[in-house]
Amino acid sequence: MSPTPSPADAIARSVERLNELGPAPPIAVLLGSGWGGFAERLEAADDVAYADLPAFPSLGVGGHAGRLRCGRLGGRRVAVLMGRKHAYETGAADGMKGAIRSLAAWGVRILVQTNAAGSLDRAMPPGALMLLDDHLNIVQRSPLLDEPGDSRFVDMGQAYDPALRARARAAVEAAGGTLHEGVYAWVLGPQFETPAEIRWLAAAGARAVGMSTVPETILARHAGLRVLAVSLITNMAAGISDEVLSHAHTLAAARAAADAAVAGLVAIVGALEDGPAR
């Protein structure tokens, strides 16, 4: 049995494999539940399994394919990560650390994240898209707990890049769509929230709630990547409606809204300027 590579070696070997796909695209898109149709929009695409990228995680959640696809979207090269490791799978918040650091080492400058989320606002029903303008780390876990030195102290004052958000809003409006905006609350899961927890989150300013995205945002900002994130609303949160929540329900609702969501994401990615990493 070959020894497990160190994190640095795993990233280096992952970058070697990614380089076989060509120069790094400026933008990588991390797909959450229900967003898989976006990967199908890429042309002249090549796939690499996460299993062939030593720094990438193994996945165990339905709706997450575990492949990286690199291709063209409207003439622009884009990398798409088809799935993420969630903290609720192991209890650790750093499941995507190697993957995101590999993207940064490859040369990616912008990370666009997507997720499926529950709505705390009746004006934002299932099928709606919400642009994250901030987040609440309710879990109070960090993927940087073992990070040495002062670089661990990452400024999160503008975790979701204001210039990218402005371009996203303009792109969706120009396409005739609606893009809501608000605060996303990260909860650990895998159980869904109680009505009391939802009332508490709403009082804290959350407009949507979900089980991902925040750890990856922290990792991306630590790596110097600019971040944009979009939620696909798949349900009203507990206590706001009478629907019974389940992962199957989330996937079914995401599939029903997938065409419009993917069209919005295509417009957004096509409108983003590369810009320097910060």
Active site residue 64: yes
Ligand-binding site membership of 180 (annotated): no
Ligand-binding site membership of 151 (annotated): no
CB 194 within 8 A of CB 145: no
Ligand-binding site membership of 212 (annotated): yes
- Give the sign of the dihedral formed by CA 52, CA 56, CA 57, CA 63: negative
Strands 206-210, 76-82: pairing kind: unpaired
Residues contacting 246, CB < 8 A, separation 6+: none
Ligand-binding site membership of 235 (annotated): yes
Out of 39, 64, 135, 237, pick the active-site residue. Answer: 64
Active site residue 236: no
Out of 117, 130, 206, 211, pick the active-site residue. Answer: 211
Out of 212, 223, 236, 238, pick the active-site residue. Answer: 212
Active site residue 6: no
Out of 247, 256, 260, 277, pick the active-site residue. Answer: 247
Out of 116, 117, 223, 254, pick the active-site residue. Answer: 116
Active site residue 119: no
Active site residue 89: yes
CB 89 within 8 A of CB 104: no
Out of 45, 65, 88, 175, pick the active-site residue. Answer: 88
Active site residue 58: no
Out of 45, 89, 175, 181, pick the active-site residue. Answer: 89
Ligand-binding site membership of 173 (annotated): no
Question: Closest Cα partner for 26 from 277, 199, 209, 200?
Answer: 277
Active site residue 229: no
Strands 76-82, 110-119: pairing kind: unpaired
Q: Reduce the secondary structure of 216-277 to three states and give it as a string.
A: HHHHHHHCCCEEEEEEEEEEECECCECCCCCHHHHHHHHHHHHHHHHHHHHHHHHHCCCCCC
Q: Which residues are annotated as a binding site for phosphate?
A: 33, 64, 84-86, 116, 212
Q: Which residues are annotated as a binding site?
A: 33, 64, 84-86, 116, 193, 212, 235
- Residues annotated as part of the active site: 33, 64, 86, 88-89, 116, 211-212, 235, 247
Q: Which residues are annotated as a binding site for a purine D-ribonucleoside?
A: 193, 235
